[in-house]
Amino acid sequence: MPTFFADLHMHSTASDGSDPPRALPQLARAAGLHAIALTDHDTAAGLHECADACRKHKITFVPGIELSADPAAVRPDRQPTGTLHLLGYFIAPDSPALSEAELHLREARKTRNQRVVERLRELGVNVTYEQVVEQAGGDIIGRPHIARVLINKGYVRTTHEAFDRYLGQRGAAYVQRDRLSPAQAIELIHRAGGIAVLAHPIQLRLDEPDQLDHAVAKLVDLGLDGLEVRHSDHDGSAIRRYQNMAERRNLLITGGSDYHGPQKPVQIASQGLDRAAFERLCASAERR
């Protein structure tokens, strides 16, 4: 496994990770990293805590966020399939624009999660929303927390099985939630002083090169700044494809593991950026 200088995609208990924000820098240092970004889903709640711990462990910290947006807006077929996530890097953690959006997104998640639990109960699965809240242990509650309840109660064995049978887009209890438009997500990141990056482009599920190029072109027109080239879901062929796409469109290049903790088979520092690529990213952010 290559040794990376920076891992710019990881999650904590502030959203759906299993490690508190303060624990990530020590794990990063043990993995040989020199820089990290915390990119929790739809929240900046853990950034100050993680930044403090990074100073303690002498890790360079990039404050970040991962916003969910509507994929239908950029797909050629206009279908709401796949996922469209936008990473915001170098954001101001206390941005009023982000704080306002977080409240809206939190309510949308709560409504969606409650409806998922209702559907599970209609299917004969004995879970309650209170059990999901207890499992989450924080303000941000997502489908991975529902998956853990299903595992704990013996309905499924793994998170993958929970999503396949119940929670994923083809699952029996799937509920679509209100999402930001891509334009809104990119604008929020820019208003918070950050740069907007398309996360794990493979998860848009656009297998044809011209289809993905169509989607990226639309995002560039909306102000997209970069592309997450290296990610745990990207094999060597995908990395080369996204690298070429970023270079053709003069987009910034980022990379990270998408670490969530032990509940997902992804190791911290399994993907990331080398020192030169990280320094280029920081220099670009400063110029912007």
Q: Do 193 and 91 contact (CB within 8 A), yes or no?
A: yes
- φ, ψ for residue 253, nearest 5 deg: -115, 130
Poorest-pLDDT segment among 53-57, 98-102, 249-253, 275-279? 98-102
- With tokens 């110029």, the residue in question is 287
Please give the model's pTM, rounded to 2 decimal places: 0.87
Joined tokens for residue 242: 């996204």
In single-letter form, the type of residue at position 181 comes to S
The domains located in the chain, with CATH, are: 6-95+182-287 (3.20.20.140), 104-167 (1.10.150.650)
Q: Do 41 and 68 contact (CB within 8 A), yes or no?
A: yes
Q: Do 26 and 1 contact (CB within 8 A), yes or no?
A: no
1 pLDDT exceeds 70? no
In single-letter form, the type of residue at position 15 comes to S
Average predicted confidence (pLDDT) for the chain: 94
d(CA 278, CA 73): 30
Separation in Å, CA 8 to CA 54, 98, 256: 14, 20, 5
For the segment 162-173, what is each residue's pLDDT rounded down to a tens digit? 999 999 988 999
Give the mean pLDDT of 99-117.
89
pLDDT category at 95 given cuts 50, 70, 90 is: very high
**What pLDDT does 103 receive?**
85
